[in-house]
Structure 1
Amino acid sequence: MRLVPGDDLRAALETIARDQAMGAAFVMQGIGSLSVANLRYAGLDQPTRLDGDLEILTLAGSLSADGAHLHMSVSNAEGRVVGGHVSAGCIVRTTAEILMVCLDRVRFSRELDPRTGFPELSIHPQD
């Protein structure tokens, strides 16, 4: 799929997954550019906002109608690279080209894991 300028990357992917009633899918790769990236770094509770011309170097994760778990790395105009958990508010600058694979006979859901405190991936076989 291709996202266009102004799209919120995470919101767009979650909307598509809900609207198409995706049981289970994963993002193989994503490239493109952002004007804003909201990434939550390891061990932090809140995302960090990055503004400017940013290139998406990698985008990967799981996706279903129940939600998404996405990680991304981006580089700035000086070539510095950062990465983390994709939060809402990652705004497409020119384009985002995303390769997704939808899986048959399986459904992903998110269930709270008391050990981590996060809604974690749960995989359910479907006939």
Structure 2
Amino acid sequence: MERMNPYPLRLLPGSDLRKALESAVSEQPGGPAFVLSGIGSLIDAKLRFAGHDTATTIPGPSEILTLAGSLAENGAHLHMSISTPDGRVVGGHVVYGNTVRTTAEILLAPLPGWVLRREPDASTGYDELVVRRRVAE
């Protein structure tokens, strides 16, 4: 049984949340990872709601309440919930263009013994997660 070695990550103001997480995984030893937890703040958050093909912008500052998902070698699948300045909570699929306002504090769990890839799935019509054990070289 492999031991999980989670590591913390802080994203700075101006970072694109999704791009930064994809980059962090490609630059860290250990390969793919799952996002265990994430909090922080965004400006003009962008989420794709269930059943929609395009993202919705939630204007102004917002707080990240939850962030979770998988970071495969060829893409991410991330969901988050945010709160607006008036306390309204919305959630959905994380797209590119979510700009960190003050900070994003994230805990990643790398999975060095596994290969995670997103591949077409005929039953859903989307690229879905395929999990394989890493073959020793």
TM-score (norm 1): 0.95
- How much has 1:18 moved relative to structure 2? 2.2
User: Which has more radius of gyration?
Assistant: 2
Q: CA RMSD in A?
A: 1.2
Residue matched to 1:64: 72
State the aligned residue count: 127
Correspondent of 1:119 among 95, 109, 127: 127
In 2, Cα distance between equivalents of 1:120 and 1:84: 17
Identity of aligned residues (%): 55
- How much has 1:81 moved relative to structure 2? 0.2
Structure 1 residues 56-94: Cα deviation after superposition (integer angstroms, max 9, x where no partner) = 000000012211100000000010000000000000000
User: Residues 85, 22 of structure 1: CA spacing in aligned structure 2 closer, same or farther, 3 A cutoff?
Assistant: farther
Letter in 1 for 2:53: D
* Runs of 5+ unmatched residues, structure 2: 1-8
Secondary structure at the residue paired with 2:50?
Answer: coil
Counterparts of 1:1-80 in structure 2, within 5 Å, are 1-20=9-28, 22-80=30-88
Residue matched to 2:102: 94
> Greater shift after overlay, 32-41 or 14-23?
14-23
- How much has 1:104 moved relative to structure 2? 2.7
